[in-house]
């Protein structure tokens, strides 16, 4: 199949490279000339494990190419995926659909034969209808079908998620459109990934409902963690105790400093906007958003408490800044609120992150960025692990102890057993334990 990806950002690039690896012919389009020039030279603008190798091997055999010429890329395609950004609109939290609609206008002008327009961007219910209306209006003679095909990729594990998905969701009712989609995803059928077809609106809502449910699961265990601290229980034991119930499942029950990233915060807000527009309140999701927002600064206060309640003129070593490991993404990272809370209370922050420093520097000023975890700890009064990068899982504890002024060890991701840290002579603070 000939596939065109409109938008060579995170989703477009990962999906395009994986489709090419399945054997399809893929062209990735972007308006950003410098991004396309870089991709042509094999430079990947984002950090995602394995993506550079996948892009270069498929580009080398000619199955994956990059262009700024949307019209030419669309004219030839069996399917055109819209994979542009849908950020939260400033002011009201609605998903900003201007990039999606602009892409639809441009695609409409370039269609030459029956083409499936696939919406992969995360878009509110009804966007597919609007895309169809735009294309029909701009090019009344065009033959096309609009299909929804939401993505369920986790940053840091995106290639595996794409190639071995729990499911693929395809929304639409045009038989020719569905036929093309089945052909595109046929390589996954061998791996027994379920491919489910439903209405277009159902597929659009599935994406938001999925992310909102996962955000709810995390927030639920975070509140149970707070209760564990009060009643003297261990949230990891409780999470295991409930997670082994198949109806609940053990994933996404890791208590921590709250969820962040480019998806959960934005998609929960957009779902709430949709729920208001349709007068179907989503009170649970409303509570999840509020609880998670409050949690981030509360985690900063937790570090302050671990330091005896006052961090004025103290120095805190912060390990991990990105919203989760294996990404350089700082969007809505809990680390932002945590570092700012510490700074507001008069502390100096020395920080280390394996990939996130460049992005962090754009949002967090007055931080001393360090080249490795141990340099960050030099002369600090306490250590706080904020993101669970593998590199922090086996710290040299005697070295840590010799570098810190006080043996205060705060583990906001619960990656260490309490007894090991305490045996090494630290005061240990975790989440929900
Ligand atoms: C999320 C979903 O997991 C993907 O399925 C979805 O496709 C994607 O959003 C999207 O909409 O594009 P992602 O944001 O990359 O993926 O990251 P997650 O691994 O889901 O983590 C999100 C946040 O939740 C992180 O801050 C993480 O630390 C936190 N989290 C996750 C917890 O605090 N506890 C957990 O048990 C799991």
Query: What pLDDT, on the 0 to 100 scale, is given for residue 93?
Result: 75
Tell me the CA–centroid distance for residue 108 and ligand 1, in Å. Answer: 34
Predicted pLDDT of residue 192: 86
pLDDT tens by residue, 47-106: 899 999 999 999 999 999 999 999 999 999 999 999 999 888 877 778 899 999 999 999
CA 370 from centroid of its chain's CA atoms:
25
The CATH number given to 199-433 is 3.40.50.720
Write down the pLDDT at residue 273. 94
Residue ranges lining ligand 1, Cβ < 6 Å: 122, 151-155, 211, 214, 218, 252-254, 256, 259-261, 263-264, 267, 323-324
Could you give the residue range(s) of every CATH 3.40.50.720 domain in the chain? 2-198, 199-433
List, edge to edge, every strand of the sheet that includes 348-352. Answer: 367-369, 348-352, 315-319, 382-385, 408-411, 427-429
Which of ligand 1's atoms lies nearest the C-alpha of 222?
A: 33
Looking from the CA of residue 156, the nearest atom of ligand 1 is 15
pLDDT at 190: 83
CA 262 – ligand 1 centroid, Å: 9
Over the chain, what is the mean pLDDT?
97
Q: Tell me, in angstroms, the distance from the centre of ligand 1 to residue 356's CA.
A: 17
Architecture of domain 2-198: 3-Layer(aba) Sandwich (3.40)
What is the average pLDDT across 42-49? 92
- Provide the percentage of residues in the chain whose pLDDT is more than 90: 96
Q: What percent of the chain has pLDDT over 70?
A: 100
Q: Ligand 1: which of 95, 149, 153 to mutate, most ligand atoms within 8 Å of CB? A: 153
Instruction: Give pLDDT, residue 95.
Output: 84
Express each pLDDT in 121-157 by its tens digit. 999 999 999 999 999 999 999 999 999 999 999 999 9
The pLDDT, as a whole number, for residue 292 is 98
Separation CA 257–CA 115 (nearest Å)? 45
User: Minimum mean pLDDT among 187-191, 248-252, 392-396, 412-416: which range?
Assistant: 187-191
Looking at the CA of residue 151, tell me the nearest atom of ligand 1.
7
* pLDDT for res 87: 86
Q: What is the pLDDT of residues 274-302, one digit of tens each?
A: 999 999 999 999 999 999 999 999 999 99
Instruction: Check residue 398 and give its pLDDT.
Output: 98
Residue 392 scores a pLDDT above 80 = yes
Averaged pLDDT for residues 378-396: 98
| 263 in catalytic set | yes
pLDDT score recorded for residue 360 = 98
Report the pLDDT value the prediction gives residue 90, as an integer from 0 to 100.
75
- Residue nearest ligand 1's atom 28 by CA: 324
**How many Cα atoms sit within 13 Å of 357 on the Cβ side?**
16
Question: Does the pLDDT at position 202 exceed 90?
Answer: yes
């Amino acid at each position: 199949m000939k596939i065109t990806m409109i938008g060579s950002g995170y989703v477009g690039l990962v999906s395009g490279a994986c489709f090419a690896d399945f054997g399809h012919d893929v062209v990735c389009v972007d308006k950003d000339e410098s991004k396309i020039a870089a991709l042509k030279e094999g430079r990947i603008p984002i950090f995602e494990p394995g993506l550079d190798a996948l892009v270069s091997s498929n580009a080398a055999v000619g199955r994956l190419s990059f262009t700024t010429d949307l019209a030419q890329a669309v004219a030839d395609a069996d399917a055109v995926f819209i994979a542009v950004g849908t950020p939260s609109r400033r002011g009201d939290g609605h998903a900003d659909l201007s990039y999606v609609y602009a892409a639809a206008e441009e695609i409409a002008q370039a269609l030459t034969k029956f083409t499936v327009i696939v919406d992969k961007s995360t878009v509110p219910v009804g966007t597919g209808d609007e895309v169809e209306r735009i294309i029909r209006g701009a090019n009344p003679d065009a033959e096309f079908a609009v299909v929804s095909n939401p993505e369920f990729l986790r940053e840091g594990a995106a290639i595996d998620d794409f190639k071995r998905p729990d499911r693929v969701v395809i929304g639409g009712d045009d038989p020719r459109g569905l036929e093309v989609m089945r052909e595109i995803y046929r390589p996954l059928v061998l791996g027994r990934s379920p491919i489910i077809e439903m209405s277009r609106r159902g597929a659009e809502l599935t994406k938001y409902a999925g992310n909102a449910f996962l955000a709810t699961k995390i927030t639920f265990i975070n509140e149970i963690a707070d209760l564990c601290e009060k009643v003297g229980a261990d949230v990891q034991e409780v999470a295991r105790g409930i997670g082994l119930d198949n109806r609940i499942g053990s994933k996404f029950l890791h208590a921590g400093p709250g969820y962040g990233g480019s998806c959960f915060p934005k998609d929960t807000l957009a779902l709430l906007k949709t729920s208001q527009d349709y007068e179907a309140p989503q009170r649970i999701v409303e509570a999840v958003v509020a609880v998670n927002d409050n949690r981030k600064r509360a985690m900063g206060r937790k570090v302050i408490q671990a330091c005896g309640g006052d961090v004025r003129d103290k120095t805190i070593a912060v390990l991990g800044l990105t919203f989760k490991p294996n990404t350089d993404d700082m969007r809505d990272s809990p680390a932002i609120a945590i570092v700012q809370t510490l700074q507001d209370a008069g502390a100096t922050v020395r920080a280390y992150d394996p990939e996130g420093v460049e992005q962090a520097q754009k949002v967090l000023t007055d931080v001393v960025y360090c080249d490795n975890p141990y340099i960050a700890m030099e002369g600090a009064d306490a250590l706080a692990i904020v993101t669970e990068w593998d590199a922090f899982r086996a710290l040299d504890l005697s070295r840590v102890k010799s570098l810190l002024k006080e043996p205060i060890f705060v583990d906001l991701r619960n990656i260490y057993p309490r007894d090991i840290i305490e045996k090494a002579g630290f005061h240990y603070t975790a989440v929900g334990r």
